């Protein structure tokens, strides 16, 4: 009997897997996949639960990978939800709950598609093929011990994927209107300025770290870092906080901090932007005499999967099932595809993401069934 991706989605939503809690989601999937003949391995690291599963021969000539996560963001104010956030309630054709778009439904759809595909496909058609799942519990968190841990384990074990499709919610308006063929990189700068505390009426006896910090931020934001590239929008620099903890109006603070995030295109790297920022820090520190420390956290580099057979395969399947040719995009935030791109060509395609991370996260159940059909068609095309 075919696996119902809607029922599986609801069962996964009922697992309270807020990062980094496993919540029973991976246990549920491991049991289902093992019963279907997948070789399953838990690759837990640093308190994070992850699952690797493979059907078919190790290092097969054609190995199709699916990537996804079962962890979810916190629910926020539970009283503000119309339905309980971990109910998995289905009402009037809509599935409710945290993870209904991001992305327990995507995981359910590709698991259901793959399990049914291997049951229904003659063994000779997959003689030198394999299907792999990389399912993490750390995508919504620091993302250091999730997909990265599984990829590290795969390298050590000699496990490979030829291509990978990540089931993130990529469709802006209707299912099928967008594929992510790349993502911008992300780097965060934590800036700490150390001055000399004093009375505001005697500025010559103090050294104001806020003045230096504001000068530095102004220089960072003075002009665009670029005007975009062939495949990406312009790089975006955003200040996210400036603080010194000073409650007094007549005191020059001794210390101030700020945080800046840059989402960058392929004109830059995390290292090149860090070098640029360090140069500005040195200029301002030299001009003001205020010591400024910079800590850079690079959460991912930009990447781009060029159009070709893999992109065409996914696009053709979407068009056949959804009646729309998807836009090829590099917009949006980061995902675990930024790690997988070092292993093999990677794309992202999934549901409409309008309610992800919101109160009352929900999705039309018809989309989940349709997404399974798209993934099934992709597998049939890949192994044809």
pLDDT digits (tens, 9 = 90+) for 278-321: 999 999 999 999 999 999 999 999 999 999 999 999 999 999 99
Per-residue pLDDT band for 123 (boundaries 50, 70, 90) equals: confident
Q: What is the DSSP string of 245-257?
A: ----SSEE-SEEE
- The pTM (predicted TM-score) of the whole model is 0.91
The confidence score (pLDDT) of residue 175 equals 98
Look at 119-128, 193-202, 208-217, 253-262 and tell me which has the smallest mean pLDDT.
119-128
Q: Which two tokens stand for residue 345?
A: 């060509």
Percentage of the chain exceeding pLDDT 90: 96
Say whether 185-300 and 5-183+302-382 share the same fold: no
Cβ atoms of 135 and 107 closer than 8 Å? yes
pLDDT of 271: 98
User: What's residue 334's pLDDT?
Assistant: 87
Mean pLDDT of 248-259: 97
The pLDDT, as a whole number, for residue 30 is 98
Distance CA 234, CA 54 (A): 39
Domain 5-183+302-382 = CATH 3.40.630.10: yes
237-251 mean pLDDT? 96
Q: What is the DSSP letter of 124?
A: G
Average pLDDT score over the chain: 96
Q: Where are the domains of the chain?
A: 5-183+302-382, 185-300
Residue 95 CB neighbour total at 10 angstroms: 28
Confidence of residue 337 (pLDDT cuts 50, 70, 90): very high
For residues 194 and 210, give the distance between their C-alpha atoms in angstroms, rounded to a whole number.
9
Inter-residue contact 33 to 53 (CB < 8 Å):
yes
Q: Are 190 and 245 in contact (CB under 8 A)?
A: no
Place of tokens 């004093």: 198
| Distances, alpha carbon 85 to alpha carbons 14, 33, 82, 337, 374, in Å | 8, 26, 9, 27, 27
Q: Measured between alpha carbons, how far is 370 from 383 in angstroms, rounded to an integer?
A: 20
Q: Which of the four pLDDT bands, split at 50, 70 and 90, describes residue 359?
A: very high
Q: What is residue 308's three-state secondary structure? A: coil
Report the pLDDT value the prediction gives residue 186, as an integer from 0 to 100: 96
Q: Look at residue 266 in the predicted model and tell me its pLDDT.
A: 95
Between CA 384 and CA 373 the distance in angstroms is: 16
Element (H, E) at 11: helix 5-13
Tell me how long the chain is: 384
pLDDT band at 85 (very low <50, low <70, confident <90, very high): very high
Q: In this structure, are strands 303-304 and 362-364 parallel, antiparallel, or unpaired? A: unpaired
The pLDDT-based confidence of 218 (bands split at 50, 70, 90) is: very high
Q: With a cut of 90, say whether residue 11 has pLDDT above it.
A: yes
Class (C level, CATH) for 185-300: alpha beta
Q: What angle do CA 307, 339, 106 make, to 5 degrees?
A: 75
Q: Say yes or no to pLDDT of 336 above 90.
A: yes
Residue 251 — pLDDT band, cuts 50, 70, 90? very high
pLDDT at 367 over 90: yes
Active site amino acids: 71, 139
Q: Does an H or E element contain 59, and which?
A: none
| pLDDT > 90? residue 332 | no
Phi, psi for 258 (deg, rounded to 5): -150, 160
Residue 125 has pLDDT above 90, yes or no: no
Any idea of the CA torsion for 171, 28, 24, 157, to the nearest 10 degrees?
-80
Give the pLDDT confidence of 16-41 residue by residue, as tens digits: 999 999 999 999 999 999 999 999 99
pLDDT attached to residue 111: 98
Q: What share of the chain is helix, strand, coil (3-state, %, to 5)?
A: 35, 25, 40
Could you report the per-residue pLDDT of 137-181, keeping only the tens digit for each? Answer: 999 999 999 999 999 999 999 999 999 999 999 999 999 999 999
């Amino acid at each position: 009997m075919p696996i119902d991706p809607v029922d599986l989605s609801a069962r996964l939503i009922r697992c309270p897997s807020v990062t980094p809690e496993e919540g029973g989601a991976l246990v549920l999937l491991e049991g289902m996949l093992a019963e279907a003949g997948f070789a399953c391995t838990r690759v837990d690291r640093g308190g994070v639960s992850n699952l690797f599963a493979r059907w078919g021969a190790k290092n097969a000539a054609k190995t199709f990978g699916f990537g996804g996560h079962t962890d979810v963001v916190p629910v926020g104010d539970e009283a503000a939800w119309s339905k309980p956030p971990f109910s998995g309630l289905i009402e009037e054709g809509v599935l409710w709950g945290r993870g209904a778009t991001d992305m327990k439904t995507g995981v359910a759809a590709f698991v259901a598609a793959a399990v049914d595909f291997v049951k229904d496909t003659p063994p000779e058609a997959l003689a030198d093929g394999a299907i792999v799942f990389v399912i993490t519990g750390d995508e919504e968190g620091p993302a250091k011990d999730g997909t990265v841990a599984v990829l590290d384990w795969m390298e050590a074990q000699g496990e490979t994927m030829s291509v990978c499709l990540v089931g993130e919610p990529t469709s802006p308006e209707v299912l099928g209107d967008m594929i992510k063929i790349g993502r911008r990189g992300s780097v965060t700068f934590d800036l700490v300025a150390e001055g000399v505390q004093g009375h505001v009426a005697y500025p010559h006896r103090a050294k104001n770290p806020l003045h230096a910090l504001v000068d530095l931020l102004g220089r960072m934001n003075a002009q665009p870092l670029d005007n975009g590239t062939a495949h990406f929008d312009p790089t975006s620099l955003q200040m996210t906080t400036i603080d010194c903890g000073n409650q007094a109006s007549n005191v020059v603070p001794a210390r101030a901090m700020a945080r800046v995030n840059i989402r960058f295109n392929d004109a830059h790297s995390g290292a090149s932007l860090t070098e640029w920022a360090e140069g500005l820090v040195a200029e301002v520190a030299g001009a003001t005499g205020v010591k400024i420390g910079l800590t850079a956290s690079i959460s991912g580099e930009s990447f781009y999967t060029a159009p070709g057979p893999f992109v065409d395969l996914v696009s053709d399947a979407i068009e056949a099932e959804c009646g729309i040719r998807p836009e090829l995009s590099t917009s949006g935030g980061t995902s675990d595809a930024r790690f997988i791109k070092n292993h093999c060509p990677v794309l992202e395609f999934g549901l409409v993401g309008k309610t992800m991370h919101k109160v009352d996260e929900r999705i039309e159940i018809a989309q989940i069934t349709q997404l399974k059909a798209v993934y099934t068609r992709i597998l049939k095309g890949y192994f044809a």
